[in-house]
Amino acid sequence: MRTVNFHSITNADTFKLQLLSWSQQFDDVVWLDSNNHKDKYSNYDAVLAVDAFTTIRTDYFDAFERLKEYQSITNDWIFGYLTYDLKNTTEQLESNNFDGLGFPDLYFFQPKKLFLIKDNCVEIQYLKMVDDEIEDDLRSIRCIVTSSAVEKSQNLDAIKIKLRIHKDDYFEKLNRMLAHIHRGDIYEANFCQEFYAEGSEINPLETFKTLNDISKPPFASFLKFESNYMLSASPERYIQKTGDTVISQPIKGTAKRSDNEIEDLKLAQDLSKDPKERSENIMIVDLVRNDLSQTATKGSVEVKELCKVYSFLQVHQMISTIQSKVKPETHPVDILKTTFPMGSMTGAPKISAMKIIEALEETKRGLYSGAVGYFTPHGDFDFNVIIRSILYNSSKRYISYSVGGAITAKSDPLLEYEECLIKAKAMREALEG
């Protein structure tokens, strides 16, 4: 049982910064921030969950069944992540590529302390065992001076970013991917490459704030457990369940921004009409429709929005929204199991694409192209897609970020490489300054 309190906030942006700074004392932290995008499907502007009461951490073997049991028994708010490599529990697949991070394949926790921010109000939910700490915690949070809430790192060595796949190798691998497409093995695949730094240290909170300020995305998230960190500026929602309604919002199609207003508008318009980008998006929409149909009531899967261009600080993106209805007895974890990994990060046909991805990529994806989010006590959920994100293992002193793009028959390897560099820009800036 939880004690629920409501408090007004004078300045939501200041309170969010204070709250995130205060959270760093805990070993288990999930912070989700919409950056005031006011997405019509979102329930909260920002959410913070800290201080684990119970947890589940596991490798991919039977991961969804273990999560289903944990979610059912806990019957409370739980926060955590699904890595891309959970594909190995739903299909006969493997993940044998290099892994410099070593995150568990699945991790969720039941927070003792939960903050739900909407407009100028914060809903505070504490487990009964700690509810006598609410007022003291609020005072501590409001006493944090925002100008120093994110302290600047001192004496950290410059971070030297390396490429796991060098440019010539990237072109060679992309041509092999195109050969699979021209042979008819697949129609589309998301091919990714890792940028990394070894023997390096960062201030995770400072780096997240810098990354978030660069991009201001609608699905920003900060995750910490033990020595593992994820700093995400994701623009993409993977999947959300509210009552009997499920939506998925894949992104496929990217264009750069321009400081010139007229040129910027033209870039967005060109993206909306680009036949290659539209075909990428529509292929994944068809895949998502098929995935959702596995748990949907008959005839309930529909495309609510097709290939709409949204503009973010760094890039223009083409987004579609697919909706389905599910029966009340449908277990929420089964909806994740039948749609994961998300189509925007795999390709079509999905299983064939994932096999080819594994053969051509050099890095185990892990949390990259996985998802971070939460379940409510009522079995609703909301998860983002982990892209535009920095992953950090502080004990191994290993930093990683990956970027990718959808490869189709019309792909130009040079343009795909340039698109990767556009997507990588925010992470590199956040790390290198």
Active-site positions read 236, 252
Determine the Cα–Cα distance for residues 416 and 171; give it in Å rounded to an integer: 9
CA distance 381 to 47: 13
Which positions ≥6 away from 155 have C-beta within 8 Å?
none
* Residues 6+ positions from 183 with CB-CB distance below 8 Å: none
Give me the residues paired with residue 9 across strands. none
The DSSP line for 8-36 is E-S-HHHHHHHHHHHHTTSSEEEEEE-TT
| Number of neighbouring beta carbons within 10 Å of residue 210 | 21
CA angle 190, 183, 171 (to 5 degrees): 50
CA distances from 192 to 165, 189, 317 (A): 10, 10, 18
Neighbours of 327 (CB within 10 A): 10
Tell the burial category of 129 from Cβ atoms under 10 Å away from its Cβ (0-12, 13-18, 19+). exposed
CB 104 within 8 A of CB 57: yes
Contact 332, 363 (CB under 8 A): no
Pair type for strands 315-325 and 347-348? unpaired
Provide the β-strand partners of residue 48: 31, 115
Q: Contact, 188 vs 283, CB < 8 A?
A: yes
Q: Which two tokens stand for residue 303?
A: 């495309």
- The per-residue b/e assignment along 164-189, b for 16 or more CB within 10 angstroms, e otherwise, is bbeeeebeebbeebbebbeeeebbbb
Q: Three-state DSSP class for 84?
A: helix
SS3 of 378, please? coil
